């Protein structure tokens, strides 16, 4: 999975860099930058989150602020 993510990062940054190169040469590079951002948003981030949290319990993914337990009265 790490290799797939690394290859996707290279491809995405390639799209974005190619778009900026096209834009600097006076051509329409916004399309390539947009494709790179879409791949980043809808492919890379979900795959990264899945690979990062696939073997963890649901409780470990949630934030626990523990509101009832630690009430400090130092600043009263």
Which tens digits make up the pLDDT trace of 17-72? 999 999 888 888 899 999 999 999 999 998 988 888 887 776 666 776 666 655 56
d(CA 20, CA 14): 10
- Higher pLDDT, residue 76 or 9: 9
What's the chain look like in SS3?
CHHHHHHHHHHHHHHHHHHHHHHHCCCCCHHHHHHHHHHHHHHHHHHHHHHHHCCCCHHHHCCCCCCCCCCCCCCC
The pTM assigned to this predicted structure is 0.67
Higher pLDDT, 22 or 1: 22
């Amino acid at each position: 999975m790490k290799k797939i993510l690394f290859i996707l990062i290279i491809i995405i940054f390639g799209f974005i860099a190619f778009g900026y190169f096209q834009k600097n040469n006076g051509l329409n590079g916004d399309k390539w930058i947009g494709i790179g951002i879409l791949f980043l948003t809808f492919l890379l981030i979900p795959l990264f989150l899945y690979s990062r949290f696939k073997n963890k319990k649901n409780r470990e993914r949630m934030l626990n602020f523990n509101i009832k337990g630690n009430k400090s009265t130092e600043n009263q």
